[in-house]
Amino acid sequence: MNIGALIIGDELLSGKRQDRHFNYMQSTLAKRGLELSWTIIVGDEPEQLQRFLRFTMACNDLVFSFGGIGATPDDRTRQTVAKVAEVPLCPHPEAVALIEHEYGESAYPNRILMANLPEGSRIIPNTINRVPGFSYEDHHFMPGFPEMSWPMVEWVLDNLYPDLRNLAPSVEQIIFVYNARESELLDVMTQIVQQFPELRLSSLPHLGKNAHIEMSLRGHAEQVDAAMNILKSAIERATFSWSDQLIDK
């Protein structure tokens, strides 16, 4: 299962606020041996939001979405999910009860709007103010506030995906190649990708005084060892030098 993050808000794109969810998701997933496959930051504009939700909801990925589930006119996530899923937006009984319990009469007429969820949704508990997030299939929608959403992420992972662990590549090997251009190693990189399709190959050129290529292979140990031996042999045949530690030249 691929894991993605959808981060919503004009304020992030304009620079009024800095995103904190991306780094949080990286560290939280890493503790479970997981990692992000993709991240999208999108504003509140309805057509843009609909376009990206249509894309993410068409796949089978596990998606964590942050922002846009409030009751103000610029919060459009709940409505857009319902539109893309082609289901009605209607009061969720459990969400209604939670909001009424927290706010009493002052829940009406505005706060209660946050209980209108796409039909078929399941709620995600909110430990801060009891206004819940919601899950629709494998998409999980939470507020943009980290103090609310981050405990929700933990709850979703612990309660809905308790066995989802250790899917990230288990081993990574890195070497540093000197006096070479990426184009001169393209053939062996292509060979590795074709021979070991489950591995993740990365080639990062570094320019400047200490120019080098940082090359890494990630995956299961046996495949990483075999592919790295092929890579090292090709580098040596081409008379380039390599090291498993960066040499300051």
Judge whether 11 lies within some domain: yes
Residues 59, 131 within the same domain: yes
What percentage of the chain exceeds 70 in pLDDT?
100
Mean of the per-residue pLDDT values for the chain? 94
Residues 83, 183 within the same domain: no
Which CATH number fits the domain that encloses residue 177? 3.30.70.600
Judge whether 24 lies within some domain: yes
Residues 156, 175 within the same domain: no
Give the pLDDT mean for 5-22. 95
Judge whether 249 lies within some domain: no
Q: What is the pLDDT of residues 133-153, one digit of tens each?
A: 999 999 999 999 999 999 999
Domain end call among 160, 184, 206: 160
Judge whether 248 lies within some domain: no
Residues 15, 133 within the same domain: yes
Using the predicted structure, report yes or no on whether residue 248 has a pLDDT greater than 70: yes
Q: What is the pLDDT of residues 98-127, one digit of tens each?
A: 999 999 999 999 999 999 999 999 999 999
Tokens at 9, concatenated: 């808000």
**Domain of 57?**
3-160
Judge whether 166 lies within some domain: no
Q: How many domains does the chain have?
A: 2
Residues 155, 189 within the same domain: no
**Which pLDDT score, from 0 to 100, does residue 249 have?**
58
Residues 39, 81 within the same domain: yes
Judge whether 227 lies within some domain: yes
Residues 118, 11 within the same domain: yes
Using the predicted structure, report yes or no on whether residue 247 has a pLDDT greater than 80: no
Q: What is the pLDDT of residues 77-90, one digit of tens each?
A: 999 999 999 999 99
Res. 210 pLDDT band, cuts 50 70 90: confident
Residues 146, 186 within the same domain: no
pTM, 2 dp: 0.84
Domain end call among 100, 127, 160: 160
Q: What is the pLDDT of residues 168-199, one digit of tens each?
A: 777 999 999 999 999 999 999 999 999 999 99
Using the predicted structure, report yes or no on whether residue 209 has a pLDDT greater than 90: no
**Which pLDDT score, from 0 to 100, does residue 134 have?**
98
**Which pLDDT score, from 0 to 100, does residue 202 have?**
95
Residues 70, 141 within the same domain: yes
Which CATH number fits the domain that encloses residue 121? 3.40.980.10
Residues 85, 208 within the same domain: no
**Which pLDDT score, from 0 to 100, does residue 106 have?**
96
Res. 3 pLDDT band, cuts 50 70 90: very high
Judge whether 19 lies within some domain: yes
Res. 166 pLDDT band, cuts 50 70 90: confident
Domain end call among 160, 181, 206: 160
Residues 142, 235 within the same domain: no
Judge whether 56 lies within some domain: yes
Residues 19, 39 within the same domain: yes
